[in-house]
Amino acid sequence: MSLILIIEQILNGVQFGVMLFLMASGLTLIFGVMGLINLAHGSLYMVGAFAAAGVAASSGSFLLALMAAMAAAAMAGVIMEMIVIRRLYDRDHLEQVLATFALILVFSEGTRFVFGSFPLFLDVPGVLSGPITLPGGIQYPLYRLVLIAVGLSVALGLGLFISKTRVGIQIRAGENDREMIAALGVDIAKLYTLVFALGAALAGLAGALVGAIQSVQIGMGEPILILAFVVIVIGGIGSIRGALIGSLLVGLTDTLGGIFLPELFKFFVAPDVAQTVGSALASMAIYVLMACVLIWRPTGLFGARA
């Protein structure tokens, strides 16, 4: 296997990882601040993608579509928070899991009712389409490089936002001691809604960005939701840094596992058996990774609390 191919695959893993980060960062913030497990986060991803597809189809502008995606997802998030999620903060995880599981059904079928049962069209904008040649002669799609750049800048921006701004400080304080910051006069309800909207907007952004190179369809949010949970559990819940590291780990494991495990088994068994066994194991790889991390560190890599 050539070095170029390996580098290309690592880029693919990183790109997958940073998109996961957009999902995982919102989830981990929501869990860290409000103590809420939100299974319906994947639905916000779907809302973003559908909004982007709708706006792109009518306006033709990808930039406009991205903004619409973030706005629609944030709005859906705020509505969701005000009507349902708010009532769940003081409940136990079990009820949160169930209520947000119910929200998935409502969102999926609701979207199907509005947009129909067929996948929608959303394409990479013209200026970003096609491959470019990287040093070393690697042909790589420009759009995927842009995804990596966008993902990393969001990570950087989010890091600065949390550590430097006033709201960010309130969020961090909220993670540590809810009663205390409420006592200090911070409007906790407003802060919660804000965090939820922020997480939703990031999920919507991810949905639109990824929707351009994947299929915009009902149920698209669920596979990525589970992966995002794997990420935040590996990284440690509540930790943005953990979410970033976890995303990259999962992205790389998933991408490279699918390529190298079958190759690895070819050293030991017949090629067709190796292909079968390797593929079977590769599809389990990230879950094995997660189980191993948790067995080694029961609260994830950067997690503080259980």
Partner 1 sequence: MTRETLLNTLLMALLIGVPLWAWVADEPFTITLATRAVIFALAAVGLNIALGLGGLVSLGHAVYFGIGGYAMGILAYHAQTYTPLMAWPFVIEGTKFMPVIWLVAMVVSAVVAFVIGLLSLRTSGVYFIMITLAFGQMFYFFTISWPRYGGEDGLSIYVRNGFPGLNTLDPIQFFAICLALLCAVLWLNARIVKSPFGLALGAARQVPQRVETVGLDPFRLKLVALVISGTICGLAGALFADLNRFVSPTMFSWQMSGELIVFIILGGLGRVFGPVAGATLFVLLEHLLGGVSDYFLFYVGLLLLLVVLFTPGGIYGILLGRSKS
Partner 2 sequence: MTLKSFALAAAMGLLASTAWAETKIGMITTLSGGGAGLGIDVRDGFMLAIAQSGRDDIEVVIEDDQRKPDIAVQLTDKMIQSEKVDILTGIIWSNLAMAVVPAATAQGKFYLSPNAGPSALAGRGCHENYFNVAWQNDNLHEAAGAYANTVGHANSFILAPNYPAGKDALTGYKRFYEGELAGELYTELGQTDYAAEIAQIRASGADSVFFFLPGGMGISFLKQYADSGVDLPVIGPAFSFDQGILQAVGPAALGVVNTSQWNKDLDNPTNAAFVESFAAEYGRLPSLYASQGFDTANLLLSALEVADVSDADAFRDALRAANFDSTRGDFEFGPNHHPVQDIYAREVVQEGDVFTNRLIGVALTDRADAYAADCKM
Is the Cβ–Cβ distance between 158 and 150 less than 8 Å? no
- 58 near partner 1, rule: CB under 8 A: no
- 269 near partner 1, rule: CB under 8 A: no
d(CA 188, CA 45): 26
- 60 near partner 2, rule: CB under 8 A: no
What is the token pair recorded at 225? Answer: 């939701």
- 223 near partner 2, rule: CB under 8 A: yes
E-assigned strand segments in the chain:
131-134, 138-141
- The torsion angle over the Cα atoms of residues 205, 209, 210 and 214, rounded to 10 degrees, is 130
CA 228 from chain center: how many Å?
A: 5
Q: Which is nearer to partner 2, 195 or 274 (CB)?
A: 274
82, HSE (Cβ side, Cα atoms, 13 Å): 8
* CB-count exposure of residue 118 (10 Å: 0-12, 13-18, 19+): exposed
d(CA 243, CA 22): 9
For residue 292, the cross-strand partners are none
Q: Which is nearer to partner 2, 152 or 259 (CB)?
A: 259
- 228 near partner 1, rule: CB under 8 A: no
- 40 near partner 2, rule: CB under 8 A: no
Is the Cβ–Cβ distance between 121 and 54 less than 8 Å? no
For residue 131, the cross-strand partners are 141
The minimum distance between CB 152 and partner 2, in angstroms, equals 17
- 94 near partner 1, rule: CB under 8 A: yes
Interacting partner of 259 out of partner 1, partner 2, none (Cβ under 5 to 8 A depending on kind): partner 2
The minimum distance between CB 282 and partner 1, in angstroms, equals 9
- Looking at 58-66, 162-170, 182-190, 272-280, which segment touches partner 2 (CB under 8 A)? 272-280
Is the Cβ–Cβ distance between 49 and 62 less than 8 Å? no
Q: Which residues bind partner 2 (CB under 8 A)?
A: 2, 4-5, 8-9, 12, 15-16, 108-109, 112, 117-121, 123-124, 129-131, 139, 141, 143-144, 210, 212-220, 223-224, 255, 258-259, 275-276, 279-280, 282-283
Q: Which residues bind partner 1 (CB under 8 A)?
A: 31, 37, 84, 87-88, 91, 93-95, 97-99, 101-106, 108-110, 112-113, 226, 229-230, 233, 237, 276, 279-280, 283-284, 287-288, 290-291, 294-295, 298-300, 303, 306
